[in-house]
C-alpha cells in the first residue's frame, strides 16, 4: 500500500470513530431542549443517552469478531452507513420513543466504527509508523470526548437540537468516500465453524451488566440487592461463566481465552478500563459542577474540558517516539499515579470556589493520562499478538473502556451522592427540605434552589455538592493509584526465566 494512501485511510478511520465517540457526550447539552420539544419525562431523557451507551457497549465484542470473519473494511463501512442513516433518523424522530429507538441503532454503528478503527490501523501500519498512527488515533479519541459539550453548545446557540444529529451527515459522507477509496481490504480469519452461540452470549452478558449498572445509576435509592439491579447483574455474571465454558470447548471460539494469559493484553485492558472509570465517566460530573453549580454555559464548560484534550493533541502523535526511550508500560503506570495525586489535591485547590481555575491542576494530570495511555496501551497490546488476534484484542480493549465508563458513572456517582446526603443530614435543614433535596439528588438540587431565591439554602446545597465532589476525587485518586500499580506489575515486571 502506498505511503500516502495509508495516511488518507487513517483520516477516514478517525473521521468515523470521531463521530461515534462525539455522540456519546454531544447529546447531553441538548437534553433540556429535547425535553421541551417532546414534553418528555426525566426518565425518558435519560434513555436518550442510555440507549446509545447500552447498545454501543453491548455489541463491541460481536462487531470485532464480525470484522475478522467478513472483513474489517466491509463492517467498518457498514457501521458508518448505519450510523449516518440513523443520525438522520434521530433528527426526524416524531416522538421521544422513536428517538430512543433510533439512538440505540445509532449506537451499534458507533461501536463498529470505534472497535474496527484500531484493528484497521494495526493492519495498515507497522513498526514506528504504527506507534505514530495510534498516537494520532488516541489524540482524536481524547478530543472527541471533550468536544461533545463544546460542539453541542455551539450548535444549540444557533440552531435547533436536530442539528447535533444532522452534523454527522456531511462528515459521514466524506468518511464513507475516503474509506471506500483508501482503506485496503483486510484479510479474513474464518477457520472452522462460526461461533454463533459465543456471539449471542457476548452480546447478552454485556447487555445485562450494562443495563444493571444503568438501573443503579438512574435509581440511587435502589440497593445493589434490589431485584431491578441484582437480577440483571446476576444474569450477566452467569452468562459470562457460560460464555467462558463454551469458548473453552468450542474449536473456533469468538474470543480466544489464551489472550487472557498474555500479560500485555491484560495490562492494556486494565489501563483502558481505568480510562473509562476514572476519566471519561468523570467528565459527566465535571460538566454538572461547571454548569449547575459554577454557573458556566455549555459552551464555556466544553471549552474548559479542551484543556484535557489539548494534551492528547500535542502528546498523542509523539507518544510513540517517547516510548522508544522509556518503557511504555512504565509511562502508563507513572501517569496513572500522577493522576491519582491530581485527584487527591483537587479538594485543596477547588475548595468551595465558583471558578474553574481550581480544576486546572487536576485537568493537567487527567490530560497527561488521556494523552499517553490511549495510544501506548493499544500499541503494546496489538504488538504482542498475532494478526488474526488483533480484532479480538481491539474488541477486548474497547469493551474495557466502554464498560469502565458505565461502571465509573455508577461508582463515582455513589461516592458523590453519599457525601452529598451526609452533608444535608448535618446541615440542620428542616426535615421536609432535607428530604426534598435528597430526592432531587445532587444534579437537580441546584435548579430547585434557583427557584427558591434563598441564599442560605443555596449555600447549604452548594456545600453539600462540593463535599460530594471532594469524596469523588479521593475515591478516584485511589482507583488511579491501584491501576498504576497493576499496570506496572503486568507491563513492566518481567517474569524470570525458568
- If you average pLDDT over residues 291-317, what whole number do you get? 77
Cβ neighbours of residue 426 closer than 8 Å, sequence gap 6 or more: none
Q: In this structure, are residues 441 and 247 in contact, taking their beta carbons and an 8 Å threshold?
A: no
**Predicted pLDDT of residue 498:** 40
Residue 74 has pLDDT above 60, yes or no: yes
Q: How do residues 401-453 score in pLDDT, each as one tens digit? A: 888 888 888 889 889 988 988 888 887 778 888 888 887 777 778 778 888 88
Of 150, 148, 149, 124, the C-alpha closest to 137 is: 124
What is the per-residue pLDDT for 322? 79
Q: What is the pLDDT, as a whole number, of residue 289? A: 87
3-state secondary structure of 257: helix
- With pLDDT > 90 as the criterion, what percentage of the chain qualifies? 25
Q: At what angle do helices 60-70 and 72-91 cross, to 10 degrees?
A: 130
pTM here is 0.85
pLDDT value, residue 481: 96
Three-class HEC string of 322-342 = HHCCCCHHHHHHHHHHHHHHH
Higher pLDDT, 150 or 475: 475
Amino acid at each position: 500500500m502506498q505511503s500516502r494512501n495509508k495516511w488518507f485511510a487513517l483520516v477516514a478511520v478517525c473521521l468515523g470513530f470521531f463521530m461515534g465517540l462525539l455522540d456519546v457526550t454531544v447529546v447531553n447539552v441538548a437534553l433540556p431542549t429535547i425535553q421541551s420539544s417532546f414534553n418528555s419525562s426525566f426518565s425518558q431523557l435519560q434513555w436518550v443517552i442510555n440507549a446509545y451507551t447500552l447498545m454501543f457497549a453491548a455489541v463491541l465484542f460481536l462487531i470485532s469478531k464480525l470484522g475478522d470473519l467478513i472483513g474489517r473494511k466491509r463492517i467498518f463501512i457498514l457501521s458508518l452507513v448505519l450510523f449516518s442513516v440513523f443520525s438522520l433518523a434521530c433528527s426526524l424522530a416524531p416522538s421521544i420513543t422513536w428517538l430512543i429507538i433510533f439512538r440505540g441503532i445509532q449506537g451499534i454503528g458507533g461501536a463498529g466504527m470505534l472497535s474496527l478503527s484500531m484493528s484497521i490501523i494495526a493492519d495498515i501500519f507497522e513498526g514506528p509508523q504504527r506507534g505514530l498512527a495510534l498516537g494520532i488515533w488516541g489524540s482524536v479519541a481524547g478530543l472527541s470526548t471533550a468536544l461533545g459539550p463544546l460542539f453541542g453548545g455551539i450548535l444549540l446557540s444557533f440552531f435547533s437540537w436536530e442539528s447535533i444529529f444532522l452534523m454527522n451527515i456531511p462528515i459521514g459522507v466524506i468518511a464513507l468516500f475516503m474509506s471506500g477509496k483508501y482503506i485496503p481490504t483486510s484479510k479474513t480469519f474464518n477457520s472452522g465453524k462460526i461461533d454463533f452461540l459465543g456471539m449471542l452470549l457476548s452480546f447478552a452478558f454485556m447487555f445485562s451488566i450494562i443495563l444493571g449498572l444503568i438501573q443503579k445509576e438512574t435509581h440511587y435509592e435502589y440497593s445493589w440487592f434490589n431485584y431491578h439491579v441484582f437480577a440483571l447483574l446476576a444474569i450477566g455474571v452467569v452468562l459470562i461463566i457460560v460464555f467462558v465454558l463454551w469458548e473453552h470447548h468450542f474449536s473456533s471460539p469468538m474470543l480466544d481465552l489464551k489472550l487472557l494469559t498474555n500479560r500485555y493484553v491484560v495490562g492494556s485492558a486494565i489501563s483502558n478500563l481505568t480510562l473509562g472509570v476514572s476519566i471519561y465517566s468523570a467528565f459527566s460530573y465535571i460538566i454538572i459542577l461547571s454548569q449547575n453549580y459554577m454557573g458556566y454555559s455549555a459552551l464555556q464548560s466544553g471549552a474548559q474540558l479542551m484543556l484535557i484534550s489539548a494534551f492528547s493533541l500535542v502528546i498523542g502523535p509523539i507518544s510513540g517516539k517517547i516510548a522508544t526511550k522509556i518503557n511504555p508500560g512504565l509511562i502508563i503506570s507513572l501517569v496513572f499515579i500522577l493522576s491519582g495525586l491530581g485527584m487527591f489535591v483537587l479538594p485543596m485547590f477547588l475548595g468551595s470556589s465558583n471558578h474553574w481555575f481550581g480544576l486546572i491542576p487536576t485537568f493537567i494530570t487527567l490530560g497527561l493520562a488521556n494523552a499517553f495511555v490511549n495510544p501506548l496501551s493499544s500499541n503494546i497490546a496489538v504488538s504482542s499478538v498475532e494478526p488474526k488476534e488483533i480484532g479480538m484484542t481491539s474488541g477486548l480493549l474497547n469493551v474495557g473502556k466502554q464498560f469502565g465508563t458505565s461502571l465509573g458513572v455508577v461508582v463515582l456517582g455513589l461516592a458523590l451522592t453519599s457525601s452529598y446526603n451526609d452533608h444535608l443530614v448535618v446541615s440542620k435543614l428542616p426535615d421536609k427540605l432535607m428530604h426534598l433535596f435528597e430526592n432531587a439528588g445532587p444534579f437537580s438540587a441546584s435548579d430547585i434552589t434557583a427557584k427558591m431565591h434563598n441564599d442560605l439554602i443555596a449555600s447549604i446545597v452548594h456545600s453539600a455538592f462540593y463535599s460530594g465532589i471532594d469524596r469523588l476525587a479521593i475515591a478516584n485518586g485511589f482507583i488511579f493509584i491501584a491501576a498504576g500499580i497493576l499496570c506496572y506489575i503486568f507491563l513492566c515486571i518481567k517474569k524470570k526465566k525458568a
